[in-house]
Copies of this chain bind each other. A is one copy, B any other.
Amino acid sequence: MATLDQMNEYFEKNRDTHLNQMKEFLSIPSISALSEHKADMKKAAEWLSSSFKEAGLENISIESTEGHPVVYADWLHAGGQPTILIYGHYDVQPVDPLHLWESAPFEPEIRDDKMFARGSTDDKGQVFMHVKAVEALMQLDGKLPLNVKFIIEGEEEVGSPNLVPFIEDHKEQLAADTLVISDTALHAPGQPAICYALRGLSGVQIDVYGAKSDLHSGVYGGGLQNPIHAVAEILASFHDQEGTIAVDGFYDSVRNLNEEERQAYKDLNFDEEALKQELGVTELFGEPGYSFLERTSARPTLEVNGVFGGFSGEGIKTVLPAEAGAKITCRLVPDQDPAEIVEKLKAHVEKHKPEGVKVTVTPFDQGRPFITPFDHPALKAASDSYEKVYKVPTVYTRGGGSIPIVADFDEILGLPVVLMGFGLETENLHGPNEHLTLENFDKGLRVLGDYYQALSALSKDELKK
């Protein structure tokens, strides 16, 4: 197998070629949200197919869906070695506001050793890195150390509406021992991170109905239940005064952080003082016994995202409104079940709703939480590969947000998921002047090449989740 030195030499020699190829890919305006770019979506899928072919991959196909196509490719000649499935997306966000871009979003330009273009970091640039890493090993060794499958979709930026059915319909074809996704960021410049868990999501809208129509508070106030009072009472009942969620059984299925995980949080040396400054608050607040980072990524939450009722214009209107309501989302952690949480929220509202009003609870879309066990060998191998190239220990993090598709892969294919990102939070993904820092492009190619080799050294049994 190729050594890291050989890879270094290879990637240095081919750097200009690779950057030019990446520019080609980035110059295709594959905006999935805008129907006028349907042809561009096809063009991007075709460009990707060609690059798979050049890399030496096989069984390349552009698979139609009800929306934009999924591009598949594989190389399955590694016999009993593990199989890695690589997921990414070739679609990008719209580019408005265009006037804030310093160079045109689809005319890629390198400035300060950064590639500026829509999709450079999210996610075409990172998908391209996997293609080139595979190609490198193929060039250097004439073969790959493990079986590889690519599934690159074109609808991630519009919520992946057709991916779950696709995965379900192609379960056999997509079967693998590990899923790798490069669509996230390093922890900080020069600081690689393994994001080993993401939170799930479930939410409800609470609507409270009083009288048939708005009433004059001078005539009816004090005489019947005010829907705003009812909403306030319900919302206030969701947490205790210290910030712990007071919904019966809410924490029942929560997988607690173990000592190793808590140590990993401490090792991040997160600066809560700096955060307070940045946010403009005098104190942080939340579930006692956990740090800010733990609360926002490893603990479940219940947040009211909106409340409404009555008059909110300037001045005063003495109305007793007919309706009031609130929108609530919970971020969930393993092993909470989104549907079960909705039932618990419903039961809580039923128990705490005041007299004299009608209350309805309507669920929103749900997403499962995801976790790859902290000590899983596929994560350890990724951590080691990062460390070899970046020369610092890899940190372990959990993401506070939700990427439902990750949990869906986990759920349907039952395999460990490794989130190996090479972007930076500051690279303006979704905004103007999106870019990819080329230092991380260069290092990432080497990390991936090394990682494929490291994974191949593990047995299928070791990789079982």
Q: Which residues of A contact B (CB under 8 A)?
A: 199, 201, 203, 205, 210-212, 215-226, 228-229, 231-233, 235-239, 241, 243, 279-287, 292, 295-296, 299-301, 303-312, 315-321, 324-327, 329, 331, 354-358, 364-365, 399-402
Give A238's nearest chain B residue, CB to CB: B229
| A425 and chain B: residue at smallest CB distance | B219
Contact B307 A228 (CB under 8 A): yes
| Residues of B with C-beta under 8 A to A296 | 219-223
A222 and B331 in contact, given A229-B304, A285-B355, A304-B229 (Cβ under 8 angstroms): yes
Q: Is B312 touching A224 in the complex (CB atoms < 8 A)?
A: no
A306 and B286 contact, Cβ closer than 8 Å, known pairs A221-B331, A232-B236, A331-B222: no
For A216, list chain B residues within 8 Å (CB): 401
- When distances are taken between beta carbons in the complex, the residues of chain B under 8 Å from A320 are 303, 305
The quantity of this chain's copies bound in the complex is 2
- A308: chain B residues at CB < 8 Å are 307-308, 312
A235: B residues at CB distance < 8 A: 228-229, 232, 236
A285–B356 CB distance below 8 A: yes
Bound-complex Cα distance A280 to B216 (A)? 15
Q: Which residues of B contact A315 (CB under 8 A)?
A: 364
Quick one: given A303-B222, A364-B316, are A327 and B355 in contact (CB under 8 Å)? Answer: no
Complex Cα distance, B224 from A364, in Å, reads 24
* Contact between chains at A305 and B318 (CB < 8 Å): yes
Would B316 and A327 count as touching, CB distance under 8 A?
yes
CB distance from A330 to the nearest CB of B (A): 9
CA distance A239 to B402 in the complex (A): 38
Q: In the complex, are the beta carbons of B285 and A225 less than 8 A apart? A: yes
CA distance A281 to B283 in the complex (A): 43
Q: A235-B229, A308-B307, A316-B203 are in contact. Are A356 and B283 (CB under 8 A)?
A: yes
Closest approach, in angstroms, between the C-beta of A421 and any C-beta of chain B?
15
Measured CB to CB, the nearest residue on chain B to A292 is B223
Which of B281, B304, B354 meets A232, CB within 8 Å? B304
> How far apart are the CA atoms of A301 and B217 in the complex, in Å?
9
Using Cβ atoms and an 8 Å threshold, which residues of chain B touch A305?
Answer: 217, 228, 310-311, 316-321
Nearest Cβ in chain B — how far from A160, in angstroms? 17
Q: Given A307-B310, A308-B312, list of 19 further CB < 8 A pairs? A: A212-B279, A218-B400, A218-B402, A219-B400, A220-B279, A221-B296, A222-B331, A224-B284, A224-B286, A225-B281, A225-B286, A226-B304, A232-B236, A281-B356, A282-B358, A283-B355, A305-B318, A315-B364, A317-B327
User: Which residues of chain B have C-beta atoms less than 8 A from A355's C-beta?
Assistant: 283, 285
Q: How far is the CA of A66 from the CA of B36 in the complex (A)?
A: 61
Residue of A221, A236, A317, A358 with highest tally of chain B CB at under 10 A? A221
Docked complex Cα distance between A331 and B218 (Å): 7
Interface residue from B222, B224, B301, B324 paired with A279 (Cβ < 8 Å):
B224
Q: How far is the CA of A204 from the CA of B30 in the complex (A)?
A: 51
A130 CB to closest chain B CB, in angstroms? Answer: 26
Nearest 9 CB-CB pairings of A with B: A218-B401, A222-B301, A232-B235, A285-B356, A306-B310, A236-B236, A212-B280, A308-B312, A306-B311
Q: How far is the CB of A279 from chain B (nearest CB, A)?
A: 4
* A54 nearest CB across to chain B (Å): 38
Question: Which of B222, B282, B304 is close to A356, meaning CB atoms less than 8 Å apart?
Answer: B282
| Shortest Cβ distance from residue A143 to the other chain B in the assembled complex, whole angstroms | 41
Given contacts A210-B281, A218-B402, A225-B285, contact A327 B304 (CB under 8 A): no
A307:B307 contact, CB within 8 angstroms: yes
Question: Is the beta-carbon distance between B228 and A400 smaller than 8 angstroms?
Answer: no
Bound complex: CA A279 to CA B358 (Å): 13
Q: Which residues of B contact A358 (CB under 8 A)?
A: 282
Q: How far is the CA of A300 from the CA of B235 in the complex (A)?
A: 25
Shortest CB distance A183–B (Å): 15
18 inter-chain pairs at a CB distance below 8 angstroms, sorted by A residue, are A212-B280, A216-B401, A217-B301, A217-B329, A217-B331, A219-B401, A222-B400, A224-B279, A224-B281, A225-B281, A228-B306, A232-B304, A281-B356, A285-B354, A303-B320, A304-B309, A306-B319, A308-B308
Could you tell me the distance between the alpha carbons of A210 and B325 in the complex, rounded to whole angstroms? Answer: 21
Cα-based distance from A222 to B205 in the complex (angstroms): 19
CB distance from A308 to the nearest CB of B (A): 4
